[in-house]
Amino acid sequence: MDAGEGIQRQVLAKGIGLNRDLSIIITHLHGDHVSGLLGLLQTMGLAQRRRPVSVVGPPDLLKWLKVTSELLHVGLTYPIEFHPAKAGLVLRTKSFRVRATRADHSVEAYSYLVEETPRSGRFHPEKAKKLGIPEGRLWSRLQHGKSILVDGKKVLPSRVTDPPRPGRRVGYSGDTRPARRLVRFFAGCDLLIFDSTFRGSDLDKAKQRKHSTCVEAAELAKRAGARRLALTHFSARYEDVTPLVTEARRVFPRTFAAADGMMVGVDYPGEGPESQSIK
């Protein structure tokens, strides 16, 4: 999600493989959100990547990539599959899908919702044994939601598994003013990462520069019924962002401040505590 300056160093530092399945999603064409993209793509080329990379972003992003790649003579070892951002579904993979909606910023910008593919229901071995289904390949097929034949009789997965379980949903606002459509768009997400550039007392600046305050982010998360809120994109004027978190928690207690290198676990819906420790 976005690729600011030096993103390739962050990827390498975190041990994220340069040849793994990867999708890059860009909210808008401001330098702090896109200036590291070309370097990341080139670093993957130097690692002799062969798999395609999906890139989602405003239509002008493709123009920027083409022009800068030509001027800098950047040759890639893999294809880029570009998906122009628009309201609605913009990307679907085996593991997740990505939906977008317009953000309210000073340039064309989008907010995104990443929705994990639903998982199969919990498998009950005792039920499979009772039906005389031998352990092994047939169990695996049932666990993956596929019907099987046993002694000429069709066995449906629903006889030995619980109903499918929903996947996790992570919302990412990018730079934006809060908007009613964002409340609907992020409804019920498990983790909402939201623009919190300013303190509540700096609302006029937030309006002028098309950003949100920490209080507005918390109010939106509360109205959307999000499970947790990560504040991000803090203005450099704040050496300590603790007061912003404190203000937000008065409205939405399950709030924390995002930071470089932070790793956050996201529980599946209906599983685990509502508030999980962050490392």
* Side-by-side strand order, sheet with 80-84: 23-25, 53-57, 80-84
* φ, ψ dihedrals at 195, nearest 5°: -55, 125
Residue 187, pLDDT > 50, answer: yes
Share of the chain above pLDDT 70, in %: 97
Residue 276, pLDDT > 50, answer: no
Quickly count: other Cβ atoms within 10 Å of residue 126's Cβ. Answer: 8
Quickly count: other Cβ atoms within 10 Å of residue 230's Cβ. Answer: 23
Mean pLDDT of 85-99: 96
Residue 279, pLDDT > 50, answer: no
- More confident call, 212 vs 17: 212
Q: For 148, what's the count of Cα atoms within 13 Å in the CB-facing half-sphere?
A: 22
Residue 143, pLDDT > 90, answer: no
Which residues are identified as catalytic?
32
Compute the mean pLDDT over every residue in the chain, rounded to the nearest whole number: 92
Give start-end residues of each CATH 3.60.15.10 domain in the chain: 86-119+166-279
Mean pLDDT of 84-95: 96
Give tens-digit pLDDT for 190-221.
999 999 999 999 999 999 999 999 999 999 99
Give tens-digit pLDDT for 238-274.
999 999 999 999 999 999 999 988 989 998 887 765 5
Residue 163's pLDDT is 86
Residue 39's pLDDT is 93
Give domain 86-119+166-279's CATH architecture: 4-Layer Sandwich (3.60)
Share of the chain above pLDDT 90, in %: 76
Dist. CA 106–CA 177, nearest whole Å: 10
Residue 272's pLDDT is 63
Residue 275, pLDDT > 50, answer: no
Give tens-digit pLDDT for 112-127.
999 999 887 889 999 9
